[in-house]
Chains A and B, each alone.
Chain A
């Protein structure tokens, strides 16, 4: 029991150190860029006095370590600061945009799993046959398609030319179909191959032969016995991918004008909005670190042998 508590504590300390490292790195990078955030905020026509005032207001005249310390103290109190560009509180800005990213991510992940898992199982079952090769080729095409190209293509054909779905924006629920499809097509190919390779490995195990020898039907062997074990490594990748999606899907959100975290982060970078950049990166880091912790626990739940 004590060992388990120590292990959890160790994991938490690692996570905190990771988040500190990320925040420090991003802070240093944003201040190392030869662009003046004050000029970006006040615009090209502001006079020196206005810029000096803004510099003072943002605390940019203080040494870097003082600025970082101040930021960190704010974060510890749950205050990610206020954007000097849009005058939004960073925490609120992230929370307002999170649902859009969440729904888009869920749509994409649903397509990954609904298409990727059955196709992976099917091709593993028919390994080496024409359907396996054809699916492999299609999956490789899917994986190789750049999101920004595929998104534009779907938008151009299905929305602009055919007029079946909205071109962009987030005003109706069907606005999410094309962005989800963009994410889904690229990811489904990848998950099909991932499930395929794990299934092939599992299908060669003795317990599968034993199951077949016991006369179990093929669907039961495939989906109840083989797939369950083949999915364990897939879970790790999936959790990290979901964390990545929730942190913001920059290209997809930008193409389809979805007001999500990716678009927020991109805009923050373009306008040198340091508190917003820090906030979105920190949020992304929390997602990834959180996903790692969740994966650790899920592993143990799925397979009690893993310690």
Chain B
């Protein structure tokens, strides 16, 4: 008789056992075993798209690419630039338009060859070549002398090769086989001529896009395969080299035994990234000691771990240079024109940022201005705006909406942003409370979000973020609110905000030599954008929260790179 019930009894036992396992236990302490000597393990959700420094542009991959490919300049533990491949900060001409870099002696690529200034000419020209499709191109195309001419000519040349019809405009493009502003007077001097003085240039070139790569390691592949091959087989001057990249599974970088800067060689032997791990899986692996670092901690686990004193020393927090905004489309009713300006100002008072920060479990802090607080030398003039629904209603009444705003308004948000949808819903409630009767949250994937919000007169409201490329206010103000950023599609200026005065201030600041005056001009532009014209409501600034295992030492969140992996070590407790 007993055997008859064997199968159902086993099944029931399994289910009951699993259900019993669901009961909450106290948080286990940080693991004391599980480390791999000399190897740091990190988890990422999506595989990296590319390891080619000219192409890698996602937040997770850049700190790893940086360990393989270095730039002329780097950041210290904060946001101050320091020389890296250059032996000193560059010599700048009196007009601020010529930069001369002196390269360090004895720097070698991981293939053993010594770095020369010609490698910079080659690598930067490669970034500017439209065929590379490097995101770095857009930062310097209008800045380096001859860059635009070269880029335009290469486009025409490619069309000719593909036997495509040339437009009248194409036929006017002069021949430019090289970038005239890049030169290598000798093996250790690299000179760059700019089209105009721009104080952001040193910050721009500290980005990984501008790391030198050896020509021979790219040109050994057939022309049509170069981009795809170098993406998976990068070579640079950094302390780590690529050992293995099993797509969707694992990336392993190992310390280069012949690294040129032995004095500053990393303590770690290897860096390992495991892919395909969502936040919940990462948290489980981390708590089991299978990962050494973790970010994007799931909310439930965060609350549990935060309140456990044994875990508290393992937390690291930093308000990062990233922010989320409620963008208000200044071209669309009811936000357009003078009356619309009053409606936009009403929005500033309508949103309870403190509550949003509270529901986000410390991931965000209330924002005051467009520019996040970590910018070097920058002091915002924007004082922030208190949550005041009465003031919002009063402004709406002034705008002729005493009985509320009857228009149906779509609030677009990407459902791939952490907490984005939830925050959009809080904003929706806040707006309804002051009289915006019909606000609908449209949560869509990021591509659709980008396509819909980047078009004229399509998205009246949207909630989305912006992270720094380099720590300078222009990266936020100019990129997001200059009228030059308004395009017919894929627009960055999601408010479609156009102000001659703000443009003028930002243009002046871009050319200004005096850093203090420059920052003042940006601050004035920001005040106009946020307070006077209310083109945007800065909602929250991003706070990075990371957990490390007790055996990881040397870890702190870097305000630009997030993590300097080459500075970490594993010290068993």
CB within 8 Å of B: which residues of A?
33-37, 39-40, 42-51, 53-54, 57, 82, 85-89, 93, 96-97, 119, 122, 126, 129-131, 134-135, 137-138, 141-142, 152-157, 159-161, 163, 166-171, 253-259, 263-264, 267, 270-272
Q: Are A43 and B58 in contact (CB under 8 A)?
A: yes
Q: Are B288 and A167 in contact (CB under 8 A)?
A: yes
CB distance from A142 to the nearest CB of B (A): 8
B452: contacting residue among A34, A253, A263, CB under 8 A: A34
A35: contacting residue among B21, B130, B276, B445, CB under 8 A: B445
Q: Are B284 and A160 in contact (CB under 8 A)?
A: yes
CB distance from B274 to the nearest CB of A (A): 6
Q: Are A39 and B447 in contact (CB under 8 A)?
A: yes
Q: A36-B447, A87-B227, A157-B21 are in contact. Are A167 and B284 (CB under 8 A)?
A: yes
Q: How far is the CA of A63 from the CA of B133 in the complex (A)?
A: 23
Closest to A138 in B: B11
Chain B residues near A44 (CB-CB < 8 A) = 450, 492
> Which residues of chain B from 124 to 174 have a CB within 8 Å of any chain A CB?
130-131, 133-135, 137-138, 141, 151, 155
Q: A51-B490, A53-B155, A87-B231 are in contact. Are A157 and B4 (CB under 8 A)?
A: no
Chain A residues near B232 (CB-CB < 8 A) = 87-88
CB distance from B456 to the nearest CB of A (A): 14
Closest to B449 in A: A35
Chain A residues near B58 (CB-CB < 8 A) = 43
CB distance from B470 to the nearest CB of A (A): 11
Q: Are B49 and A39 in contact (CB under 8 A)?
A: no
Q: A36-B451, A39-B451, A168-B277 are in contact. Are A47 and B138 (CB under 8 A)?
A: yes
Q: A87-B227, A160-B284, A161-B21 are in contact. Are A40 and B447 (CB under 8 A)?
A: yes
Contact of B290 with A by CB under 8 A: yes
Chain B residues near A40 (CB-CB < 8 A) = 446-447, 450
Contact of B358 with A by CB under 8 A: no
Interface of A is mostly: helix
Contact of B448 with A by CB under 8 A: yes
CB within 8 Å of A: which residues of B?
4-5, 7-8, 11-12, 15, 17-18, 21-22, 25, 46-47, 49-50, 57-58, 130-131, 133-135, 137-138, 141, 151, 155, 227-228, 231-232, 246-250, 274-278, 280-281, 284-285, 287-288, 290, 416, 445-448, 450-452, 454, 469, 479, 487, 489-490, 492
Q: A34-B451, A86-B47 are in contact. Are A57 and B133 (CB under 8 A)?
A: yes
Chain B residues near A166 (CB-CB < 8 A) = 290
CB distance from B492 to the nearest CB of A (A): 7
Q: How far is the CA of A135 from the CA of B6 in the complex (A)?
A: 10
Q: How far is the CA of A50 from the CA of B466 in the complex (A)?
A: 19
Most chain B CB neighbours (cut-off 10 Å) among A34, A141, A167:
A167
Write 13 A-B pairs (CB below 8 A) sorted by A numbering: A34-B452, A40-B446, A45-B135, A88-B228, A89-B228, A130-B4, A131-B7, A137-B8, A153-B21, A167-B284, A169-B250, A169-B274, A255-B278
CB distance from B180 to the nearest CB of A (A): 19
Q: Are A45 and B490 in contact (CB under 8 A)?
A: no
Q: A157-B18, A257-B277 are in contact. Are A45 and B138 (CB under 8 A)?
A: yes
Q: How far is the CA of A135 from the CA of B11 in the complex (A)?
A: 9
Chain B residues near A43 (CB-CB < 8 A) = 57-58, 135
Q: How far is the CA of A35 from the CA of B17 in the complex (A)?
A: 45
CB distance from A213 to the nearest CB of B (A): 26
CB distance from B74 to the nearest CB of A (A): 21
CB distance from A25 to the nearest CB of B (A): 20
Q: Are A259 and B50 in contact (CB under 8 A)?
A: no
Q: Are B133 and A50 in contact (CB under 8 A)?
A: yes
Q: Are B228 and A49 in contact (CB under 8 A)?
A: no
Q: A51-B490, A255-B281 are in contact. Are A45 and B469 (CB under 8 A)?
A: yes
Q: Are B447 and A267 in contact (CB under 8 A)?
A: no
Chain A residues near B479 (CB-CB < 8 A) = 45
Closest to B50 in A: A87
Chain A residues near B141 (CB-CB < 8 A) = 47, 49
Q: A53-B155, A93-B247 are in contact. Are A259 and B276 (CB under 8 A)?
A: yes
CB distance from B530 to the nearest CB of A (A): 21
Q: Are B284 and A156 in contact (CB under 8 A)?
A: yes
CB distance from A121 to the nearest CB of B (A): 12
Top 7 A-B pairs ranked by shortest CB distance? Answer: A35-B447, A47-B138, A257-B276, A259-B248, A157-B21, A134-B8, A87-B228
